[in-house]
Amino acid sequence: MANPTAAILVIGDEILSGRTRDSNMHYLARELTRVGIDLQEARVVSDNRRAIIKAVKSLSAAYGSVFTSGGIGPTHDDITAECVAEAFDTPISIRDDARALLAAHYARTGAELNEARLRMARIPDGATLIENPVSVAPGFTIQNVHVMAGVPAVFEAMVASVLPTLTGGSPLLSQSLRIERGEGEIAGPLSKLADDFPELSIGSYPFQNNGIYGANIVIRGHDGAQVDAAMTRLSEMFA
Amino acid sequence: MANPTAAILVIGDEILSGRTRDSNMHYLARELTRVGIDLQEARVVSDNRRAIIKAVKSLSAAYGSVFTSGGIGPTHDDITAECVAEAFDTPISIRDDARALLAAHYARTGAELNEARLRMARIPDGATLIENPVSVAPGFTIQNVHVMAGVPAVFEAMVASVLPTLTGGSPLLSQSLRIERGEGEIAGPLSKLADDFPELSIGSYPFQNNGIYGANIVIRGHDGAQVDAAMTRLSEMFA
């Protein structure tokens, strides 16, 4: 059976302007690979209502689950929650359990739970909260979309809360071999190998470093015996 | 006048499996910001024919220009060129000028211009070559899509070849201020500021580090006087 599929939607002008380099995509990719969920697409859009709504609709229709990153804080540019609600045509309002979490947190720290902070308690109807052990303000899951913070420490903690609730598949196994020959030399045999093992994904990633060049060949698949067999063949080819 | 828009399409299983962390998106984001082209979307898809064709069609229809990264080498998993040709319903074949570049290169290095390497001379009809000063095999531009290599050194060199051919806009100017207060405290005044300067983008990026927390406020816009005025107001607010 094919593994479950997923996509990530990163929301934020700061990535697209080059001010910040995203790390959540890479983190999620590794975590999903570990539990056997195939991350099939990643998108980055800016803090723009229409762009966010369109992307949420299209990704949630196309993939088993969608993870969003960013835009759920207290400031005016945090519009992800309302956009996700609109994508699912669902009302959104301040929810008691989310407000209680924030109230307890700010009571502890002595800060005021003002109007801006209350924005972080707005949750679409029917959503489930995602725990935030770092800074309390929760994420939420609605249908197949998991809405999470952009700050990497919070994003990663939320991923840890969500992953156990998902059905994984067989983990993607991979083995790699470094071959110090030009890609053009190994491409022919490699293509034959790929034909012989149609269920495996065989990738070639060239490198060039201080005059040494070649490619890392990565063989990936869900069947360990097949990956082993293909790797044995590959090693023999270029022994 | 609004600035020209762009999108980037990164092609490669190795990014989505978490094996490699993409850097081309971040590089292009910085370069485009510098010349006043608004990068409005980034996508990553796997080495899958249908996914690539669909993304090329949709991005090239939605944005002024599209930059692709990855999948133009000599191996069986390099399918970007044929997918882009198919997206534009254009024939693709080995082109004489591209073949000549490769032939001269391999003659110099003493390697054979075999069938696999010749794949890198396949160019869709009507495309313009993009120079590759690093490893010779060219990229190409067809309509508004610039097809470039995934290896960062080559990608960056190709971006340098392409950018001067594009019409830029007014560069995006930005100033930022570090404010050591919780986002929830500054959100109200910040939102007012954003309302007063509707043509600027004002972003708030929280940080938390060794017990010190706050946010970097970034004000971006194309009119330097406006950015200055907003920054002055912001500094006064939190002096």
Distance between first and last Cα of chain A: 35
Are A167 and A4 within 8 A, CB to CB? yes
Residue B144, phi then psi, degrees to nearest 5: -100, 20
Which residues of chain A make contact with B32, given a CB cutoff of 8 A? 18
Please report, for chain A, the start and end positions of each structural domain, with discontinuous segments joined by +. Answer: 5-165, 173-237
Which residues of chain A make contact with B30, given a CB cutoff of 8 A? 18
**Bridge partners (DSSP) listed for residue A220:** A174, A201
- Token digits of residue A97: 């359990």
CA-based torsion, B4, B10, B15, B16: positive or negative: positive
B5-165 and B173-237 share one CATH topology? no
Query: Chains A and B: how many Cβ contacts under 8 Å?
Result: 204
CA–CA dist A24, A22 (Å, integer): 6
The CATH superfamily of A173-237 is Ribosomal protein S10 (3.30.70.600)
- Token digits of residue B156: 């960056």
Long-range contacts of A98-107 (CB under 8 A, 24+ apart): A98/A122, A98/A123, A98/A129, A98/A138, A101/A129, A101/A136, A101/A137, A101/A138, A102/A136, A102/A137, A105/A136, A106/B184
Residues B52-99: pLDDT tens digits? 999 999 999 999 999 999 999 999 999 999 999 999 999 999 999 999
Instruction: Please say if the pLDDT value at position B239 is more than 80.
Output: no
> Residue B116 and residue A194: Cβ atoms within 8 Å?
no
Nearest CA in chain A to B176: A19
Average of per-residue pLDDT across A55-63: 98
Residue holding tokens 């500094």? B235
Which of B158, B11, B25 lies closest to B82 in space, CA to CA?
B11
Which of B181, B186, B174, B238 lies closest to B212 in space, CA to CA?
B181
CA–CA dist B10, B69 (Å, integer): 5
Are B96 and B102 within 8 A, CB to CB? no
Residues B129-150: pLDDT tens digits? 999 988 899 999 999 999 999 9
Average of per-residue pLDDT across A193-217: 87
Question: Best residue in B31, B45, B53, B77 to probe A by mutation, most A CBs within 10 Å?
Answer: B77
Q: Grade residue B169 by pLDDT with cuts at 50, 70 and 90.
A: confident
Residues B7-62: pLDDT tens digits? 999 999 899 999 899 999 999 999 999 999 999 999 999 999 999 999 999 999 99
CA distances from B73 to B108, B121, B156, B157, B162 (A): 19, 10, 16, 16, 19
Residues A6-15: pLDDT tens digits? 999 999 989 9
Average of per-residue pLDDT across A202-219: 85
Q: Domain B5-165 classified CATH 3.40.980.10?
A: yes
AA letter at B129: L
Return mean pLDDT, chain A: 93
Instruction: Please say if the pLDDT value at position A72 is more than 90.
Output: yes
Confidence at residue A4, expressed as pLDDT on a 0 to 100 scale: 94
Instruction: Please say if the pLDDT value at position B223 is more than 80.
Output: yes
Do you know the residue count of chain B?
A: 239
Average of per-residue pLDDT across A115-123: 95
Confidence at residue A1, expressed as pLDDT on a 0 to 100 scale: 60
Are A13 and A80 within 8 A, CB to CB? no
Instruction: Please say if the pLDDT value at position B172 is more than 90.
Output: no
Q: Grade residue B171 by pLDDT with cuts at 50, 70 and 90.
A: confident
> Residue B17 and residue A174: Cβ atoms within 8 Å?
yes
Confidence at residue B1, expressed as pLDDT on a 0 to 100 scale: 60
Q: Grade residue B160 by pLDDT with cuts at 50, 70 and 90.
A: very high
Neighbour-count burial of B151, counting CB atoms closer than 10 A to its CB (0-12 exposed, 13-18 middle, 19+ buried): buried
Instruction: Please say if the pLDDT value at position A133 is more than 80.
Output: yes
Higher-confidence residue: A67 or A166? A67
Specify the 3-state DSSP secondary structure of A79: coil
DSSP A3: P
Rounded to the nearest angstrom, the minimum Cα separation between A188 and chain B is 6
Q: Grade residue B208 by pLDDT with cuts at 50, 70 and 90.
A: confident
Strands A139-142 and A128-130: what pairing?
antiparallel
CA distances from A223 to A164, A200, B179 (A): 23, 8, 52
CA–CA dist B205, A115 (Å, integer): 19
- Token digits of residue B182: 């919780």
